[in-house]
A = this chain, B = another copy of it.
């Protein structure tokens, strides 16, 4: 009978799981539907459990043949209300711990080292590990936060396109492209904005970076504002001996040239992804538990 560790990255697009032995060797992998626990807890629980079962099956094991399985699930919203406990209860066949998506990203990117991680996709969120202690900031959503998120870049683009349409701020190739897309009808932009979800706004982020690279004055303004916001958040976390800063997520590379020079010497490639971070944390938990039992 084996003792196993399962790491699960419960993401908004899919849940991915990997099962490892106590030395961290990955034995199998699984994948299931998305986990959005704040909007659909029930299906999120099913998908988290399913990804774990697939990983065990991929490793040639079934849940019943396993003496001891420790799991770590990283998922957005794990720290909200009692969602973490509800996920732990759903993972009946394991001894589980539910942590934030930020923690498994940080563990994946930095391993056991200190440092800062900033993640830039549809949202934006930062975390730091300093002398082993964790601190997270940002990630409050694009309505009143996530200043460097794809959603904010897209929302800013719509706002500045309307200001250009009204003659309040200068027009540029990117605002003209937006107005053309919406048939030069500002009402249609307003209609889009009032039904758009974060990912709908974020779909404009690549267009913003493309025009900014070409020197478009409006796009450059939008990206500079976001890069300034990144700098402010990094400064809030940074300390003199901080060994590295990892930028993660779909927009990380696009932001790099826009960051202040003073962060560039610290920039480092992430060691691993969030799933690997979850596996590492699960392996630690398994070994801690055995030391506790010894």
Contacts and interface: CB of A to CB of B under 8 A. Distances in A.
Given A168-B233, A233-B166, A236-B167, A159 B137 contact: no
A230 B233 CA distance: 29
Given A138-B168, A144-B193, A168-B233, 17 more contacts: A80-B187, A137-B168, A138-B166, A140-B190, A141-B193, A143-B190, A143-B193, A143-B194, A144-B155, A144-B159, A144-B190, A145-B162, A145-B190, A166-B233, A167-B236, A168-B235, A168-B236
Contact of A236 (B141, B158, B166): B166
A189 interface: yes
A162 B145 CA distance: 7
A144 B189 contact: yes
Contacts of A42: none
The 7 closest A-B pairs by CB, nearest first: A137-B166, A144-B158, A144-B193, A144-B159, A168-B236, A143-B193, A167-B236
A122 to B, nearest CB: 15
18 contacts: A137-B167, A137-B168, A138-B166, A140-B186, A141-B193, A141-B194, A143-B190, A144-B158, A144-B162, A144-B189, A144-B193, A145-B162, A145-B163, A163-B232, A166-B233, A166-B236, A168-B235, A169-B232
Interface of A: 80, 137-138, 140-141, 143-145, 155, 158-159, 162-163, 166-169, 186-187, 189-190, 193-194, 232-233, 235-236
Q: Point out which of A145, A169, A194 has the most chain B C-beta atoms below 10 A from its C-beta.
A: A145
Contacts of A193: 141, 143-144
Contacts of A168: 137-138, 232-233, 235-236
Most buried by B among A137, A143, A194, A236: A143
Contacts of A145: 159, 162-163, 190
Contacts of A190: 140-141, 143-145
